[in-house]
Amino acid sequence: MTDFEVRRDDLRQTRFVDGAGEGNVRIERFALTANNVTYGVMGDALSYWTFFPASEEGWGHIPVWGLGTVVETGQTVYGYLPMSSSVTMALDGELVDRSSHRSGLPGVYNRYLPLAADAERLDEMLLLRPLFGTSVALEDFLAGAEGTVVLGSASSKTAYGLAFLLAWAGRPVVGLTSQRNRGFVEALGVYDRVLAYDEAGSLSGEAVVYVDMSGDAGVREAVHAAADVRRSVVVGATHWEDVGSGGGGDEAPELFFAPTHLEAMTERLGAAGLRQRMGEAWSAFMGRVDDFMAIEHHSGPDALERLWRSLVDGDVDPRRGHVVTLGR
């Protein structure tokens, strides 16, 4: 068994560890996005390091969304996995991991979905479905908040999923992005306006709801200084080294945690109602996915390590979605 581990205090430090024996779930492939960097940044605050304990203190497993095969039954399952060749889980008949160390963690991460191994668009599901679930939860979370919605890191998959939903609902939305990614973000066709980060001052006096997908304190402060911020929400941390800095402005940023809000939506809508809402939005979104994303496949430890470091350094093309097969 091969495990990919990351230093908890320095996400650029990585190593491969040979585990003892093989787990009962063989990991076939998984998606890797900037959202996984957020898992590392928020690992202590939101217990992401707890899901798959590492071999040594100070190191951790970054969770990913992937496909695995239950060795005993041959069943293909989709869900939360480590970047490893296999993993041991205490799956019950409902495909819920009942491992003791996961008992206090959000249930949405402990449940696994059975799939046909040849189901269509599995790579798209790995790359976008978890992030789109966050987008759906965010759109619901922001309902009733007054002002133009401004999305930081507008090229991120969670951001443009949210922008798609906001545009679908007829709400005005502005994307903030780097000059390098500006053309891509404009071509998405889901933002009313696209601004470079150094143009945040053009929001002067405008009533806005700021959704920070990047954790970049400098951009957050610029938006707060220029605009009339009615609500400020921190979701991700692609600019992970800045996440601990203050937000600036009068409206204190609040941290959004998707599993908590999805559980609240389940209570309000019922499980069937939430599935219907998610399914309708997902079907509409899938009608657009080929316009803005090409999928790249990576195989083996070296390829995984290179891709991870590119994500940590923010050196990735937003037009690409990355799916990894670690191998054994």
- For 63-110, give the DSSP string: PEEEEEEETTT--EEEEEE-SBSEE---B-TTSBB--GGGTTS-HHHH
The class (CATH top level) of 2-119+293-325 is: alpha beta
Report the share of the chain in percent with pLDDT over 70. Answer: 95
CA 264, CA 111: separation in Å to the nearest integer? 17
Which CATH code for domain 128-261?
A: 3.40.50.720
Domain ranges of the chain: 2-119+293-325, 128-261
Say what the pLDDT of residue 248 is. Answer: 43
129-187 tens-digit pLDDT: 888 999 999 999 999 889 999 999 999 888 999 999 999 999 999 999 999 999 999 99
H helix intervals, the chain: 34-41, 107-110, 122-141, 157-168, 182-188, 217-226, 258-269, 271-286, 289-292, 301-312
Stretch 15-36: mean pLDDT: 90
* Topology match between the domains 2-119+293-325 and 128-261: no
> Is residue 149 within 8 Å of residue 142, measured between CB atoms?
yes
Query: Residue 298: which pLDDT band, with cuts at 50, 70 and 90?
Result: very high
Per-residue pLDDT at 11 exceeds 90 = yes
> Is residue 80 within 8 Å of residue 259, measured between CB atoms?
no
Stretch 112-119: mean pLDDT: 89
CA 32, CA 35: separation in Å to the nearest integer? 8
36-74 tens-digit pLDDT: 998 998 888 889 999 999 989 999 999 999 999 999 999
- Does the CA dihedral 275-277-280-284 come out positive or negative? negative
Query: Residue 310: which pLDDT band, with cuts at 50, 70 and 90?
Result: very high
- Does the CA dihedral 125-130-132-133 come out positive or negative? positive
187-211 tens-digit pLDDT: 999 999 999 999 999 999 999 999 9
Structure tokens at 173: 């939305």
Measured torsion, CA atoms of residues 49, 50, 51, 56, in degrees rounded to the nearest 10: 70
Structure tokens at 137: 């939860």
Say what the pLDDT of residue 1 is. Answer: 78
Beta strand 64-70 with 2-7 is unpaired
Neighbours of 99 (CB within 10 A): 16
- The average confidence (pLDDT) of the chain is 90
Look up the pTM and report it: 0.80
Which residues 6+ apart lie within 8 Å of 25 measured at CB?
A: 68, 69, 70, 71, 77, 81, 86, 87, 88, 89, 91
CA 140, CA 263: separation in Å to the nearest integer? 12
